[in-house]
Amino acid sequence: MRVAFVGKGGVGKSSLSGSFARVLAEAGERVLAIDSDPMPGMAFSLGLEQSDAGLPDDAVEEYEEDGRQRYRLREGLTGTDAVEQYAQRAPGGVHFMQLGKARGPQWNNRRQHFGFQRLLDDLPGDGWSIVGDLPGGTRQPFLTWGRYARTFLVVIEPTPASLLTGRRLARLAETARAPRVVAIANKVREPGDAERVSSRTGLDVIGSVPFDPALADADRLGKAVLDTDPDGPTATAVRSLVQTLQKSEEQS
Amino acid sequence: MKIAVVGKGGSGKTTTSAVLARTFARHGHDTLALDCDSNPNLGISLGIGEEATEALVSVRDAVDAGEEQHATSMDDLVSRFGVDAPDGVRLAVVTAIQNPEPDCP
Ligand SMILES: Nc1ncnc2c1ncn2[C@@H]1O[C@H](COP(=O)(O)OP(=O)(O)OP(=O)(O)O)[C@@H](O)[C@H]1O
Ligand SMILES: [Mg+2]
């Protein structure tokens, strides 16, 4: 399974994608979790400490093409090698790779930015499931940071701004010919919320996660909700989401 | 006075900006609220509604379409492509991503 979580800032992409990766691993899959947001996020919900480190500088080399500065993985280093060598191990055996996090005023992130994209072009295939946490908003998720995904999961809260973002993403996906785009309703409080998400965005809602104070509490502690509340509403909802997607993959 | 509001996704930038803008306007200041997010939602927080927010044309799109040739200044652009929001705030969107552009992160 190859999925990428997208959506407006703050809708719950990191909380849900990290939990999703852990649940997939629980189900016996080999999982690579990829955080391509330059702001911190997915590490916490996987149950890791936050660090700024991305690909080490010497994993990426600079070269010139037609007078332009470009970046690629170091000679001889495949994407799969990079995952084996540099991914952190999260609970449940999840492999975790992140784009380096913004570090101070002078941080030049070109090497990280483009080196990491080369990694995305050469991710391990057979036998791996990939779960991506993308930056918030509508900044080109389909063609760049999420290009490895077969299914895009748009996380949507039942608020006007989040619904509007969902509609924009659905539109961008059409023009980008993204493979499959579906919605997850998050922070759901009322029975009609999921239906509202689907009617206002035109996207199929394949799962709903209730508004869960335990998730907000875990977040304040910088911990994974799967560790602080392993059988709570979020864990239950994410397990059912994983099952739904596994079934739909079998059929396709 | 020029204020920029920044921070992590979901931390309250848009809400804070909208409350600041309307507060300044209520105190009699000429206030321009500039939405610099490529996924612009400030209109919703200012109170112009979801549909009007969705329909806003960004200044960048206007410039790309050559419209700035008909505008004499930045102020003129804002008056052409901005909209009025409650309390007398003027709202303009700087840029919005409408179409995919390959190789642009
Ligand atoms: N189902 C939920 N119930 C309650 N709170 C939630 C839920 N999902 C997410 N949150 C809270 O919403 C906030 C944003 O969550 P998160 O960081 O996962 O979002 P994000 O989409 O990754 O944000 P960003 O765009 O900044 O990366 C956090 O405080 C989190 O605890
Ligand atoms: Mg996040």
B89/A102: higher pLDDT: B89
| Secondary structure element (H or E) that encloses residue B99, with its range | none
Average pLDDT over residues A204-216: 97
* Best probe residue, ligand 1, of A15, A22, A133, A223 (max atoms within 8 Å of C-beta): A15
A229 in contact with ligand 1, CB cutoff 6 A: no
CA separation for the pair A251, A56 (Å, rounded): 40
CB pair distance less than 8 Å for A137 and B8 = no
Cβ(B96)–Cβ(A171) below 8 Å: no
DSSP assignment letter at B33? E
Atom of ligand 1 nearest to the CA of A188: 1
Percent of chain A with pLDDT over 90: 80
A65, A66, A143: best mutation site toward chain B, by most B Cβ within 10 Å? A143
What is the rounded radius of gyration, in angstroms, for the C-alpha atoms of chain B? Answer: 14
ipTM: 0.85
CB contacts of B11 in chain A (<8 Å) are 10
Distance from the CA of B10 to the center of ligand 1, in angstroms?
8
CA separation for the pair B99, A138 (Å, rounded): 10
Taking only the tens place, the pLDDT of each residue in A101-132 is 887 777 788 888 899 999 999 999 889 999 99
- The per-residue pLDDT for A39 is 87
- The per-residue pLDDT for A117 is 92
- What rounded mean pLDDT belongs to chain A? 93
Cβ(A186)–Cβ(A11) below 8 Å: yes
Distance from the CA of B12 to the center of ligand 2, in angstroms?
14
Of all protein residues, whose CA lies closest to atom 14 belonging to ligand 1?
A10
CB count in 10 Å sphere of residue A91: 14
**Poorest-confidence range of A48-57, A205-214, B16-25?**
A48-57
Residues in chain A: 252
Distance from the CA of B9 to the center of ligand 2, in angstroms?
7
Q: Which residues of B touch chain A, with CB atoms under 8 Å apart?
A: 8-11, 14, 37-39, 41, 44-45, 50, 53-54, 96-105
Chain B residue at shortest CA distance from A10: B10
3 state SS of B34: strand
Task: Give the relative orientation of helices A13-26 and A233-251 as an angle to the nearest 10 degrees.
Answer: 70
Taking only the tens place, the pLDDT of each residue in A55-93 is 999 999 999 999 999 999 999 999 999 999 999 999 999
**DSSP labels for chain A?**
-EEEEEBSTTSSHHHHHHHHHHHHHHTT-EEEEEE--SSS-HHHHHT-------S-GGGEEEEEETTEEEEEE-TT--HHHHHHHHPEEPGGG-EEEEPPPP-STT---HHHHHHHHHHHHT---TTEEEEEEPPSBSSSIIIIITTT-SEEEEEE-SSHHHHHHHHHHHHHHHHHT-S-EEEEEEEE-STTHHHHHHHHH---EEEEEE--HHHHHHHHHT--HHHHSTTSHHHHHHHHHHHHHHHHHHH-
- The per-residue pLDDT for A223 is 97
B27 in contact with ligand 1, CB cutoff 6 A: no
DSSP assignment letter at B13? H
Cβ(A44)–Cβ(A224) below 8 Å: yes
CB pair distance less than 8 Å for B97 and A139 = yes
Average pLDDT over residues B50-66: 84
A99, A154, A168: best mutation site toward chain B, by most B Cβ within 10 Å? A168
CB pair distance less than 8 Å for B41 and A165 = yes
Cβ(A149)–Cβ(A130) below 8 Å: yes
Domains in chain A: ranges and CATH? 2-52+84-108+126-246 (3.40.50.300)
Indicate if the pLDDT at residue A167 is higher than 70.
yes
Q: Which of A10, A138, A143 sits opposite B102 (nearest CB)?
A: A143
CA separation for the pair A100, A111 (Å, rounded): 10
Which amino acid is it at B96?
A
**DSSP labels for B39-94?**
S--HHHHHTS-HHHHHHPPPHHHHHHTTGGGG--SHHHHHHHH-EEEGGGEEEEE-
- The per-residue pLDDT for A175 is 76
Chain A residue at shortest CA distance from B50: A160
Which residues is A2 bridged to in the sheet?
Answer: A130
- The per-residue pLDDT for A36 is 94
Nearest partner of A100 among A110, A92, A90, A91, judged by Cα: A110
